[in-house]
A and B are shown apart, each in its own frame.
Chain A
Amino acid sequence: MAAGALRGVLWPRAAAGLRAARAALAAPAGARAASEMSQDMMPGPYPRTPEERAAAAKKYNMRVEDYQPYPDDGLGYGDYPMLPDKSQYERDPWYQWDQPDMRHNWGEPMHWDFDMYIRNRVDTSPTVVPWHTMSKHFLLFLSIMLIMFGLGEIYPSYRPVGPKQYPFNDLYLEKGGDPNKKPPTVIHYEI
């Protein structure tokens, strides 16, 4: 107990000493590690002059003709390029990509929503059959089925037999009829 108490007194002092040493060696606030991107590689404000556009295209490894930033309507994309909204599933599966699972080459400009367009998530692949053909077929099928079922309700099909005959006044009591009231008399005859 005495040793524990002593240890309890000593360790905060040791921690304070370590903290002071670490603070002396730490970098100033706001500094970035060497593994991160430098300031000139970060996205910047919306490019206004053609020189700014050329510089932004070079920054993003794109040709000047291909580079198209998002329109400056206050949504805050800056000079990030607007790439077509195609998912990674639409890219060639047989080409030797640097990152085959992402179907992405090193240095290629990534879409703003790249994490959405990976192959595990949203897929914008075109349908095998054109959309209007698919919808026409489906609506045709649905309407025909509904019409046929509707006709079946209006004109039901039945066997050429009379209704089934039940005893005890058509099971008046069994179907929940009032035992105090006299049930309507139903007599079935042999034929």
Chain B
Amino acid sequence: MGAHLGRRYLWDAEAEPDPLNMPSFPAELGLPGRQPRAMVASAAQLAQARVPLEQRDFCGHHLLRLLRCQRDTFPVPWQCHPLRHRWDSCQHEDYVMRMKEFERERRLRLRQQRLRQRHGDGDGDSE
């Protein structure tokens, strides 16, 4: 379907990230001063609202506000659109972060390959 699948299955599986083993490099490598992601809603609040497990991610606070608004304004559907937009854009940012993680993993793998080749050439020349 995508170039990454062709590269992984047909060419160089070493240089392509394996989505089941991610991230395989330390988090600080190449990005000094990284901030951990902040979780706004608490686990107790998400549990009380009986949010499905797949939706208890880092955008949970937007979802809780949206659900509360929907419960309060039912059956009028258009009053919660701003909150819905905020949750959707949070999910979009999360997806973009996942894409960036994938790309970071890929570049680090390529760098690792290059380092190995360089060390391999260096040893061959020295010997």
Contacts and interface: CB of A to CB of B under 8 A. Distances in A.
A43 B89 CA distance: 88
Given A163-B22, A165-B57, A165-B94, A174 B47 contact: yes
Contacts of A166: 56-58
B53 A168 contact: no
Given A163-B22, A167-B56, A171-B53, A190 B101 contact: no
Given A167-B56, A174-B43, A190 B34 contact: yes
Interface in A135-168: 155, 157-168
Given A157-B1, A161-B99, A174-B47, A189 B56 contact: no
Interface extent on B, as a size class? 35 or more
A28 to B, nearest CB: 86
A70 to B, nearest CB: 64
B57 A189 contact: no
A190 B22 contact: no
Given A166-B56, A173-B43, A174-B56, A190 B35 contact: yes
A165 B98 CA distance: 8
B97 A190 contact: yes
Interface residues of A, number: 22
A187 interface: yes
Interface in A4-49: none
B39 A160 contact: no
Contacts of A171: 53, 56
Contacts of A132: none
A189 B102 contact: no
Contacts of A165: 37, 57-58, 94, 97-98
Interface of A: 155, 157-168, 171, 173-175, 187-191
Interface of B: 1-2, 4-5, 9, 17, 19-20, 22-23, 27, 31, 34-37, 39, 43, 47, 53, 56-58, 60, 94-95, 97-105
27 contacts: A155-B9, A158-B5, A160-B4, A161-B95, A161-B98, A161-B99, A162-B17, A162-B23, A162-B99, A165-B98, A167-B39, A167-B57, A168-B39, A168-B43, A174-B43, A174-B47, A174-B56, A175-B53, A188-B36, A188-B37, A189-B34, A189-B35, A189-B36, A189-B37, A190-B35, A190-B36, A191-B101
